[in-house]
Structure 1
Amino acid sequence: MSLPKQRDPEGPYRIVVVCLGNICRSPMAEQVLRADLDRAGLGDRVEVTSSGTGDWHVGGTMDPRAASILGVHGYPVEHTARQFRPTDLADADLVLAMDLDNHEELSAAVTGQGAEHGFDPSRLRLFRSFAPGIGPNPEVPDPYYGGDDGFTAVLNMVEAAAKGLTDQLDEHLNPGG
């Protein structure tokens, strides 16, 4: 499936990664994707943010286990949790849900208040659907209630999906190049 066109060709391609609380999966995906985009020379052409569908952690930092696994692998860990707002749809080129529950909640926003902002539902995808060779379940499970091994598994999933997305963005933003 091809990437949606940029809403503002003069600005960066804008991506929002969304999970439940914005302290584990989506900030991990944000940092990994940013690093991949920088390595591919696209960091100045793609803007990545993250948010959560819930408001429990707004203003807080990343889960210490998520920060630890990112830090061990050389990724930045700076993060302030925020809640996704339907107005975020006004500027987003691509909204990436981490699991089907998040996707369902975002779908409701897209068809409700998102429609007011001219958001095309085809701009909403599952983050892990960009991982090469992914099977029928492209979700990134929530590691919050588990142990450290869950965060390692999430990082592996996020890295594969970020690489696939970066490759597609490179082709999309540099056609024929």
Structure 2
Amino acid sequence: MITRVLFVCLGNICRSPSAEGVFRALAGQAGLTVETDSAGTSDWHVGDAPYAPMQSAAKSRGFDLSDLRARQFTARDFEEFDLIIGMDDSNIDNIERLRPSGSQTPVQLFTDFAPETGMDHVPDPYYTRDFDQTLDLVQTASLGLIKQLS
């Protein structure tokens, strides 16, 4: 049974913390008990809070990201989590490069849980500036993941 889920993007200040915060809230509302975390494949923002515009957009929907802090993904995460979710193919490639020999921890794209959207990745709002688009997709994928885990 999957009880520990890690969300991963590049810098861990927009997509993965929003995925963690939204999923955590929606899973709790659904009565699903899971541990969550998020990480970035880069070390650019280690220790930083989520990007302020991302926090504002999430807060306007009732999701609080203020307690989250960026950290870097490590090979140890394969031992600590039951499911690792990447936001795009580049994240998946970077995650897989660190996979320890013999690790069976599944790694999936977040959009795999939202096939109805037709999206093959979660766009990075740090570059697109479309925080609402990202949150729409994150909410849809979170509900799909909750459905699969329930």
Correspondence 1:125-144 to 2 at 5 A = 125-135=108-118, 137-144=119-126
Q: What CA distance in whole angstroms lies between the structure 1 residues aligned with 2:74 and 2:96?
A: 13
The two structures have a TM-score, normalised by structure 2, of 0.94
1:93 matched to 2:82? The reply is: yes
> What's the secondary structure of 2:39's corresponding residue?
strand
1:157 matched to 2:137? The reply is: yes
1:61 matched to 2:49? The reply is: yes
> What's the secondary structure of 1:66's corresponding residue?
helix
The structural deviation recorded for 1:132 is 4.2
Correspondence 1:27-106 to 2 at 5 A = 27-42=17-32, 45-78=33-66, 79-106=68-95
Return the letter of the residue paired with 1:35. Answer: A
Equivalent residue for 1:24? Answer: 14
Residue 117 of structure 2 contacts residue 137 of structure 2 at CA under 8 Å; is this kept in 1?
Answer: no
Show structure 1 runs of 5+ residues with no match.
7-12, 171-177
How many residue pairs get aligned? The number is 149
Equivalent residue for 1:175? Answer: none
Equivalent residue for 1:174? Answer: none
Show structure 2 runs of 5+ residues with no match.
none
Equivalent residue for 2:127? Answer: 145
| Percent identity for Structure 1 against Structure 2 | 42
State which structure, 1 or 2, has the greater radius of gyration over its C-alpha atoms: 1
The structural deviation recorded for 1:133 is 1.8
The two structures have a TM-score, normalised by structure 1, of 0.80
Residue 132 of structure 1 contacts residue 160 of structure 1 at CA under 8 Å; is this kept in 2?
Answer: no
Q: What CA distance in whole angstroms lies between the structure 2 residues aligned with 1:31 and 1:120?
A: 26
Q: What CA distance in whole angstroms lies between the structure 2 residues aligned with 1:157 and 1:74?
A: 16
Equivalent residue for 2:103? Answer: 119
Return the letter of the residue paired with 1:50. Answer: S
The structural deviation recorded for 1:146 is 3.1
The structural deviation recorded for 1:138 is 2.1
> What's the secondary structure of 1:37's corresponding residue?
helix
Q: What CA distance in whole angstroms lies between the structure 2 residues aligned with 1:66 and 1:101?
A: 21
